[in-house]
Amino acid sequence: MDEFRTSEEWQKVCKITVLDPDGWDRVNYQYSWCEENISREEFMNRVLPSTCMFNIEDFKAPWIDIGEDNERL
């Protein structure tokens, strides 16, 4: 079952800082960022077109898929 959180919460969990939120509704940004509950997959889909900052070491998180050769993707 998918877990749902606000984007503000996902940002902390995923250790990603969204600098320019191109993937979010700018007309109703307050709702889109602070109130709307979305899945991690939806959060990452919104992160893709956005300008973000993160520490590459944080992407060794357990929620990152492991490839067939046991290397993190």
Domain extent, residue 43, equals 4-60
* Closest C-alpha among 67, 63, 69, 72 to residue 39: 63
**What is the DSSP annotation of 12-45?**
HHHTEEEEE-TTS-STTHHIIIII--EEHHHHHH
pLDDT, tens digit, 9 for 90 and up, residues 61-72: 555 555 565 554
Categorize the per-residue pLDDT at 56 as very low, low, confident or very high, splitting at 50, 70 and 90: confident
Q: Which residues pair with 5 in a beta bridge?
A: 38
pLDDT, tens digit, 9 for 90 and up, residues 12-48: 998 999 999 999 999 999 999 999 999 999 999 999 9
How far apart CA 24 and CA 20 sit, in angstroms, is 9
- Number of structural domains found in the chain: 1
Position 40 in a domain? yes
Cβ atoms 18, 52 nearer than 8 A:
yes
Position 66 in a domain? no
